[in-house]
Amino acid sequence: MDMFLIPFYIQSASALAASSAPQLTRSKPASPPPCRRMSILNAKWNKILFITIVLVMFAVTTIASWMMPMDCRADGFPPPAGREGSTAISMDDPALVGWATGYENYEPGTHLDAAWETPEQAVGKASGTSYNVVSLGRGGRIILTFDPPIQNGEGWDFAVFENAFNDYHLELAYVEVSSNGIDFVRFDSVSLTPGPVSGYGSVDATLIDGLAGKYRQGFGTPFDLSDLSEKDAVQSGMVNISQITHVRIIDIVGDGSYPDSRGNPIYDPYPTYDSAGFDLDAIGVSNGAPYPDGGISNGEPALRPEEEGKEGFGGQSGCFIGAL
């Protein structure tokens, strides 16, 4: 073979092989139809919107938790007697060194039978029963006196005892103190109950702070006079929190017309009759005692009622047998 023809044959063979091989081309993908493009676009925006909403909600709840008092950020305020973290004071607590020695200015409210207008029942030690009490009626009030005066010690200084039949039928009251019987200063309070409570309804103790009536009968709600140290009446010397001679209890009408210190409406069982309002058993004095550690050893927690009507018994009052 002529040596000059070899390159020609090689080139021809390569061309023939290339022409017989399948042609691989890279084609541009077809564009999706307009409706599909809109669907993809909407899905992306929906995802962005969802993420944005989640982030905003997280930011709002975080800021709200920062603004909330430390003692109600996690599990609310102290729970009922007998449960871990409760501040309930047993009427037999050895820290109690005295009780009210008298009363003044008993002003009963409405919807109250005369059988419960017994202010002398609030003097002396708590009975822990449903009957040895004085009822205040709707919006009623009473002042208990102390001789010797209540002193401001380390820890809680006195405890107010109500006669709630169980841990959930809680009738509430404001608490005020005075060192001269004329000028009074009120403890701050918080009520986070979200809405109205029927006459036989329930109140969650973990949503209540700074109000008397938080615990069931036989267990008092403690108050620390140091909590009043920044009040104007105390700063000015009108009230000496180291020499408290008078404690005033004012019933809260539970229809939401009475506010807490933040302006929130206060709800408790309403309406009640015959023995309406706060039922005061006693006020005990410690002059400064440490708060209970981990609950009350001799107080068993009551079961939450499964339905309305389980809190009380008899009559219409929700906590008494009408009138004796």
Examine residue 154 and state whether it is found in any structural domain, yes or no.
Answer: yes
What is the pLDDT, as a whole number, of residue 16? Answer: 42
Mean pLDDT of residues grouped by 10 in the chain (324 residues)? Answer: 45 47 50 57 58 45 37 67 96 98 98 97 97 98 98 97 97 98 98 96 97 98 98 98 98 98 98 96 96 55 44 36 32
What is the pLDDT, as a whole number, of residue 32? Answer: 55
Cβ–Cβ under 8 Å, residues 141 and 251: yes
- 155: alpha, beta or left, given left = phi > 0 and alpha = psi -120 to 50? left
Examine residue 130 and state whether it is found in any structural domain, yes or no.
Answer: yes
Residue 102 sits in which domain range? 86-289
Examine residue 304 and state whether it is found in any structural domain, yes or no.
Answer: no
pTM for the model stands at 0.72
SS (H, E, C) 194-219: CCCCCCCCCCCHHHEECCECCCCCCE
Examine residue 141 and state whether it is found in any structural domain, yes or no.
Answer: yes
Beta pairing class for 190-191 and 265-267: unpaired
What is the pLDDT, as a whole number, of residue 30? Answer: 54
The structural domain count of the chain equals: 1
Question: What is residue 316's three-state secondary structure?
Answer: coil
- DSSP class of residue 110 equals B
Examine residue 42 and state whether it is found in any structural domain, yes or no.
Answer: no
What is the pLDDT, as a whole number, of residue 233? Answer: 98
Closest CA to 214 of 274, 271, 172: 172
Examine residue 194 and state whether it is found in any structural domain, yes or no.
Answer: yes
Task: Please compute, for residue 317, the number of CA atoms within 13 A of its CA located in the half-sphere on the CB side.
Answer: 29
Give burial (CB, 10 Å; 0-12/13-18/19+) of 209. Answer: buried
| Distances from the Cα of 131 to the Cα of 115, 127, 136, 222, 245, angstroms | 10, 9, 13, 22, 26
Whole-angstrom distance, CA of residue 221 vs CA of residue 90:
9
Examine residue 101 and state whether it is found in any structural domain, yes or no.
Answer: yes
Cβ–Cβ under 8 Å, residues 285 and 96: yes
CATH number at residue 123: 2.60.120.260
What is the pLDDT, as a whole number, of residue 316? Answer: 34
What is the pLDDT, as a whole number, of residue 44? Answer: 61
Neighbours of 95 (CB within 10 A): 19
